Structure 1
Amino acid sequence: MPFPDTFLWGGATSASQIEGAFDRDGRGMSTADVFPYHEKITDPRQSMLKAMTRAEVKAAMEDQTGFYPKRIGIDFYHHYEEDIALMAELGFTVYRMSISWSRIFPNGDDPIPNEAGLAFYDQVIDTCLSYGIAPLITLSHYDFPLALTLKQNGWLSRKTVDDFVRYASLLFERYKDKVKYWVTFNEFNIISLTPFISGGMLADQVADLEAAKHQAAHHQLLASSLAVAACHRIIPDAKIGGMIARFESYPETCAPEDSLLTIQNDQKNFAYADVMVKGSYPNYLLQTWAETGLTPVLAPEDVAILKEGCVDFLGFSYYMSGLSGTDKTTEKTAGNLGYTKKNPYLKTSEWGWQIDPVGLRVTLHKLYDRYGIPLFVLENGLGARDTVSADGEIEDTYRIAYLSAHLRELGKALDERVPVLGYTLWGWIDLISASTSEMSKRYGLVYVDQDDYGQGSQKRLKKKSFAWYQAVIASNGKSLEEAHT
């Protein structure tokens, strides 16, 4: 069956990984700007997941010799017209992008917004619309104003809730006639792993980092709910969603203990989605807090705030799956942002991610059965090393195979009556890796001539996957089955 006529086809990026121009036109520094490039990082916990101290942040801000890749991105700031023209050539009907908070409010809480920053996004959005591409804007995507980190320890402060809602409301008002799809926070549940990059918190400024993560997450949930309510009020015909990183997990064996552990891992993965969709904390999380003493401070009005700001759809990223089991001797493999047991039935990417197209279909069913609201696949893709031939060709057949298999499973889920609004593959163009700040791990349908050290012409080259995805969109998914058969 072809995909629904209303299905949104596109790609996704984040401001911190593509824009560059970190010190242009009044932009303030963000948490993404202080991660340097290091050779041979294989463990994401050495970079993106690193808990930063105040001294480390200040040293990075003052560093004149290190290379910080996210500060230059792929210079989308000056290439946006060319890049959006490529999206149009692909046939995109939606482009998932993020806005850098510190480009709008350089210090996060400035009395007036930075008009030069807003003017840049005016141009990006208007260019998308001129090609019939609907912008889908993520308000916060691993890109928190560094000034608020140093001033009030990021999301640990309840004041940050007000700062964020003011920022979000400004964008809703400015783009209410142009943008009808919004997401509050990228991969909300990752704050449990990334207190600095997601939560803007300094590890040496809290007495208990684990407790601080839960408090910061509560404040983000309040901010998300208040932003949803503001969006519904300001743009009644818009859809605004939440997003999680989905780590699909299977029992390692048929031992009952492994099935129970799988359920518990799902609960950890879904906890914040439960709040964003249902409007209250699930009992299993309340019990965990009670047992560990990690219950965050809640104000009397918080229950009503969470209940009144439920999302319209749930977006998620999906890259790989893992196993849940009690056998501590099982071989492990590097995963998206951590480690998981190795599944002998699956192949892995060079970065150790287990390739599991059926897992996407499993996830879609689990999420719809649990929440009963429309879903959106906001990230899915394959990071790989691409080689440019002497005649300028990039034969990324491995990427086509990965994406084709996942999209076919998505199509099956649609046939099985799971409502999915759209699919935005990650990153439709090569960009700086969020986890390791490298350029070698490429996801794009478009190759960017730039190496791990920022050297290169930044020329854009179409890979073989470009024409493949173009055909998928033009046929509304029909070419997937034709190629498969």
Structure 2
Amino acid sequence: MNYSIPENFILGAAASAWQTEGWSGKQAGQDSYLDAWYEAEPFVWHQGYGPAVATDFMNQYKTDVRLMAEIGLTHYRTSINWSRFFTDYENLVVDEAYAQHISDVINELLEAGVEPMFCLEHYELPKALMDRYDGWSSKHVIDLFVEYARIVFERYGDRVKHWFTFNEPIVVQTRVYLDAIRWPHEQNSKKWMLWNYHKVLATARVVEVYKAGGYAGRIGCILNPEMVYPRSSSKEDQAAAHYYDLLYNRVFFDPLVLGQYPEELLALCRENDIWFEPTSEELALIRENTVDFLGVNQYYPKRVKAQRFAWAEGQPFHPTKYYEEFDLPGKQMNNSRGWEIYPSIMYDMAMYLTENYPDLDWFVAENGMGQMDEQRFTDETGVIQDTYRIEFIREHLRYLLKAVEAGARCEGYMLWAFTDCVSPMNAFKNRYGLVSIDLENQRARSKKASANWYATLIRERQLQVADLSDEPK
């Protein structure tokens, strides 16, 4: 059967500054959090590849934009690297060479007919602000972020119509302060929640600045909610899923979209000594400056069951106090990445958003499949035959388009990623791109089979799928 793709439905691809640009032209003192982590622990990045060269987008962006045009991307989402944008973060001294690069990229995209979408922070918090103020622990860093946003809007707001404050704002502090599995390995649950709150507050303040500027565009945030499934229908397993959703998903959804936190979440924060002490003025600002739209990243489901054990006295708070992970027997896996493949998350997340945030405009900002050793699928013509990626996109799009037919306010789909790119620890081990990056040949580019398939999809706007009996009704 076929699904017709709506005329204005986004069919694009995404990346970020730090994962593509490389350090060409970077000055002393312009390290981001990711740069600092790579310098401190290069051994945890697969085969030592990190952001130093990445895909060399700084020098090869014109080639990439030409390939985007060939494929027909409607939109391309990336970020501005905050750590590269200034030479002095306190006095807001702009690195004019880097700022010109961003301007050049925007112009190149527009000339190619590709709509640019920009994040202000995709894990690119300046290391200098980590060292001096403990990063997002400080409200002064929020002040600096707001002024950074103001300058960016003034420079590029006439050309860029789609803005986001953060990409996946929960991730860094979850990996560092909650789970303590990433550098600098500081377990601090209260700081975890404080960073969550300060990024919500920063978003509200940037929304206020953007609206006051009268720009002809819109502003939102890119979230990575996990569609959570309880093991069973038991009230205990259902409660486990509820708590997971509350602590990891609604902690951003509710304040950004509805302008207020769930009372139950606030009570949990007080009870577990992770209270972030908001002022009445801050809560009013959050209430009055909700986002225009959201990007929603979706990769895999989250499966949970009821916690079997009492929480140990003196143990630092962790949301696993309220749930355990559940390993579903027989699940379909991407064995390269270790992630479950479950395309129904697209429909289920769309219905979750429709039910809980019915007035929200949103789109899938990331979805994709990483694969190890892709070169082994190269055919005699030199093209990587990534049929597994084509099937992954096809099935996820099928469920997303079914949700659109059912009334979901989804505006489109963006693949992660346009090219293969470096990512934390994974480096280039698992490749995600429509376009291959040759690490041995000056980062040369070549289109995979999926790029040609995606180009046809964009041009014809018809998705052909098997007529499966398990489609959601």
Q: Partner of 2:22 in structure 1?
A: 20
* Maintained 8 Å contact 1:106/1:145: no
Partner of 1:378: 365
TM-superposed CA distance for 1:422, in Å, is 1.8
Tell me if 1:214 matches 2:201: no
Among 467, 470, 473, which residue is 2:458 paired with? 473
> Which whole-Å CA distance do the structure 2 matches of 1:85 and 1:483 have between them?
36
TM-superposed deviation, 1:412: 0.4
| Residues in 1 aligned to 2:42 and 2:172: alpha-carbon distance in whole angstroms | 25
**Using the alignment, how far apart are the partners of 1:39 and 1:215 within structure 2?**
26
What residue in structure 1 maps to residue 319 of structure 2? none
Aligned partner letter, 1:310: T
* CA offset digits 1:353-372 (Å, max 9, x no partner): 00011111101110121112
Q: How many Å separate the matches in 1 of 2:41 and 2:99? A: 35
Shift of the 300–253 alpha-carbon distance from structure 1 to 2, 3 Å rule, reads closer
Q: What is the deviation of 1:74?
A: 0.7
Partner-residue secondary structure (3-state), 1:92: coil
Kindly indicate whether the alpha-carbon contact (under 8 Å) linking 1:69 and 1:437 is maintained by their aligned counterparts in 2: no
Partner Cα separation in structure 2 for residue 358 and residue 231 of structure 1: 35
- CA-to-partner distance for each residue in 1:275-330, whole Å, 9 max, x for gaps? 1111122112111112112111323420121112100112111000131113769x
Q: How far did 1:236 drift? A: 3.7
Q: Which has the higher mean CA deviation after the structures are superposed, 79-88 or 317-326? A: 317-326
Deviation at residue 273 of structure 1 after TM alignment: 1.4
The one-letter code sitting in structure 2 at the alignment partner of 1:17 is Q
Among residues 264, 270, 273, which one is paired with 2:250 in the alignment?
270
Quickly say closer, same or farther: Cα 1:279–1:47, change in 2 above 3 A.
Answer: farther
Question: Any stretches of 5+ residues in structure 1 without a counterpart?
Answer: 49-65, 330-338
Tell me which of 341, 348, 351 is aligned to 1:362.
348
CA distance in 1, matches of 2:227, 2:454: 25
Give 1:229 deviation, angstroms: 1.4
For residue 193 of structure 1, give the secondary structure of its aligned residue in structure 2.
helix
Query: Residue in 2 aligned with 1:246?
Result: 225
Per-residue CA deviations over 1:26-80 (Å, capped at 9, x if unaligned) read: 7711111133499999xxxx779xxxxxxxxxxxxxxxxx946112111000010
Matched residues, number: 446
Does the 8 A contact of 1:250 with 1:262 survive in 2? yes
The 3-state SS of whatever aligns with 1:95 is strand
1:332 equivalent in structure 2: none
Q: Which residue does the alignment assign to 1:315? A: 295
* Separation of aligned partners in 1, 2:235 and 2:166: 35
Tell me the equivalent position of 1:163. Answer: 144
Q: C-alpha displacement at 1:341, in angstroms? A: 2.5
CA distance in 1 between partners of 2:329 and 2:48 (Å): 39
For normalisation by structure 1, the TM-score amounts to 0.85
- The one-letter code matched in structure 2 to 1:104 is F
SS of structure 2 residue aligned to 1:139: strand
1:183-226: CA deviation from partner (whole Å, max 9, x where unpaired)? 111112224413479x9x9868x8x7211122222221111101
Contact in 1 for aligned 2:164/2:219 (Cα 8 Å) = yes
Q: Give the letter for the 2:463 counterpart.
A: S
Deviation at 1:107, TM superposition (A): 4.5
> Which letter maps to 2:338?
G
Contact 1:23 1:29 in 2 (8 A): no
Q: Matches of 1:135 and 1:235 in 2, distance apart?
A: 19
The partner residue of 1:416 within 403, 406, 417 is 406
1:42-191 matched pairs, under 5 angstroms = 67=48, 69-191=50-172
Give CA-to-partner distance per residue, 1:94-131, whole Å, 9 cap, x none: 11111100111134334321111110000000000001
C-alpha separation in 2, matches of 1:196 and 1:13: 25
2:390 & 2:136 partners in 1: Cα distance? 39
Amino acid at match of 1:176: G
CA-to-aligned-CA distance 1:240-281 (integer Å, 9 cap, x gap): 112221211211122221112111111122221111111122
Distance in 2 (alpha carbons) for counterparts of 1:465 and 1:243: 25
Q: TM-score with structure 2 length normalisation?
A: 0.87
Q: Is the 8 A contact 1:93 1:133 kept in 2?
A: yes
Provide the aligned C-alpha RMSD in A.
2.9
Distance between the aligned counterparts of 1:236 and 1:213, measured in 2? 33
Whole-Å separation in 2 of the counterparts to 1:129 and 1:401: 30
Give the SS at the match of 1:359.
Answer: helix
* Counterpart secondary structure, 2:276: coil
Query: SS at the partner of 1:70?
Result: coil
| CA 1:157–1:203: 2 relative to 1, 3 Å | farther
* 1:291 and 2:277 are equivalent in the alignment: no
Once residues 340 and 448 of structure 1 are traced to their aligned partners in structure 2, the CA distance between those partners, rounded to angstroms, is 35
Instruction: Classify 1:234/1:322 alpha carbon distance in 2 versus 1 (closer, same or farther; 3 Å).
Output: same
Q: Deviations over 1:339-390 (max 9, x none)?
A: 9432235311122100011111101110121112111100100000212345
Query: What residue in structure 2 maps to residue 62 of structure 1?
Result: none
3-state SS of the aligned residue for 1:392?
coil
- Read off the aligned partner of 2:251 and give its amino acid letter: A
Note if 1:398 corresponds to 2:379. Answer: no
1:234 maps to what in 2? Answer: 213
Q: Distance in 2 between matches of 1:457 and 1:34?
A: 24
Identity of aligned residues (%): 31
Return the letter of the residue paired with 2:36.
Answer: V
Query: Quick one: distance in 2 between partners of 1:135 and 1:353?
Result: 30
Question: What is the CA–CA distance in structure 1 between the aligned matches of 2:467 and 2:14, rounded to whole Å?
Answer: 25
